[in-house]
Chains A and B, each alone.
Chain A
Amino acid sequence: MSEQNRYELNKNLAQMLKGGVIMDVTTPEQAKIAEAAGAAAVMALERIPADIRAAGGVSRMSDPKMIKGIQDAVSIPVMAKCRIGHFAEAQILQAIEIDYIDESEVLSPADDIFHINKREFDVPFVCGAKDLGEALRRIEEGASMIRTKGEPGTGDIVQAVRHMRLMNQEIARISSLREDELFNRAKELQVSYDLVRFVHDNKKLPVVNFAAGGVATPADAALMMQLGAEGVFVGSGIFKSGNPAKRAAAIVQAVTNYTDAKLIAKLSEDLGEAMVGINEQEIALLMAERGK
């Protein structure tokens, strides 16, 4: 199969995930709870971001055996994270036939200059971005799906909101440029003219764009969807809360009917304790600053 066909198929899988919630899980049991609650896919990892943050130290790709256990437990797509620039970890994830690789700032970066050349891979990649330049650079490298970086493991939505708004503003600005101004914009963003041209003509990214980082409640999910996210990743927000199954199902419904405040009000009742969370001013490590 041609490289172009494979890339199209990988972008297509992200299209199928739209309007869905992708949930972080650490065990096959959690994966089954997530699937039953309506997760469109699960992200298999040994520790959720909140615990990575608490434990400190170097954080790496998860044990393949643990990931395979989750692949066996559910029928929905299974994603897993590798470190930024760690193409050997990505090769391992491809070897166990993962459905999507997240080249993620949540793990400790393996390379402080180069991201993975994702065009070399047959499996798809999702990457985080906090502005349009980062998003287009990741797409140029072969990412077939983008998510906001947010600030993982905090339960604080402010960064995801900031990243989504900034991306939308930059897309709007490119759409309003004259055609002869696009060449310079491409130079400023350090990406090819063709990508900038696509954004100019279509007023959107050429791949699906999800929200991630800090989503903890149905209202958070509805906020991100109204700001233009095409779906939502929920990391620590579910299994760090009092009633994971109920909260997960409520977030799934909120993403489908994100403008129906009456319904979301009902969904938000009696969810038990939300994850405690930390404000961005209180944390020493800003994961969103990893990988530009």
Chain B
Amino acid sequence: MEIGKPQIGVLAVQGAFIEHERILKSLGAEVFEIRQLRDLDRHLDGLVLPGGESTVQGKLLRDLGLFEPLRKKIAEGLPVLATCAGAILLAEKIAGESRTHFATLPAIIRRNAYGRQLGSFFTENEVAHVGIVPQTFIRAPFFESVGNEVEVLSRTASSNTTDAPERIVAVRFRNQIALSFHPELNSDTSIHRYFLGLAER
């Protein structure tokens, strides 16, 4: 391990984790994959919860014994960047469902909130502290409401129709950054740099 490089663990049980790894490495972070409990033996400065299917990730986290150790670390303030499925894992409540996962982020999230794959869309929009970024939404969720202490970083309307309402698609609560969209699918690295800023502190 090199002194000074932030050590970032990327949850790699299912989904688009390699895309995050590539960007974080290009920004100088030391990146490792978390696939089972022994991967948590090493020091962690930050955690990425990638996109994928939240039902699959939630089940594998429990089956592989990762759930409680990771939940504890997040609750204790470990910086987290969560995209799409990852944001669903963090939310305190999932609209229309009784189950939750880490439940460390005071917000209500709705899964597949724009509908099926035909509802997926791409746009560019402002994210607070970061600037204008590309936003790729794939069968994406959005936040229906957030707690008082949660900062809304971005509100975006679907580009599929002209009169679509703006929805909360990016939030921050303490050290947790949660996004509906996928910054790892574009070449813009500003969101990851913002996250590394938290992890390096």
Contact = CB atoms under 8 A, between A and B. Distances in A.
Q: Do A and B bind each other?
A: yes
Interface in B166-191: 182, 185
Given A9-B138, A20-B56, A39-B56, A256 B35 contact: yes
Given A9-B138, A16-B84, A257-B35, A1 B111 contact: no
Interface stretch (B24-32, B40-48, B59-67, B142-150): B59-67
A38 B56 contact: yes
Contact of B60 (A35, A75, A100, A252): A252
A45 interface: no
A12 B53 contact: no
Interface in B83-119: 84-85, 111-112, 115-118
A8 interface: yes
A99 B117 contact: yes
Contacts of B13: 19, 256
Contacts of B36: 257, 260, 263
A20 B15 contact: yes
A159 interface: no
Contacts of B55: 35, 38, 75-76
Interface string A267-292: 00000000000000000000000000
Contacts of B112: 75
B152 interface: no
A16 B112 CA distance: 13
A20 B139 contact: no
B52 A40 contact: yes
B120 A256 contact: no
A122 B117 CA distance: 9
A170 B138 CA distance: 32
A15 B116 contact: no
B15 to A, nearest CB: 6
Given A1-B159, A16-B15, A9 B121 contact: yes
Contacts of A17: 52-53
Interface of A: 1, 5, 8-10, 12-13, 15-20, 35-41, 71, 75-77, 94, 97-100, 122-124, 249, 252-253, 255-257, 260, 263
29 contacts: A1-B122, A9-B121, A9-B136, A12-B120, A12-B138, A15-B16, A15-B185, A16-B15, A18-B16, A18-B18, A19-B15, A20-B15, A38-B56, A38-B59, A38-B63, A40-B14, A41-B53, A75-B111, A77-B117, A94-B118, A99-B116, A122-B118, A252-B56, A253-B60, A255-B14, A256-B60, A256-B64, A257-B36, A260-B36
6 shortest interchain CB distances as A-B pairs: A19-B14, A99-B117, A9-B120, A15-B16, A38-B59, A97-B116
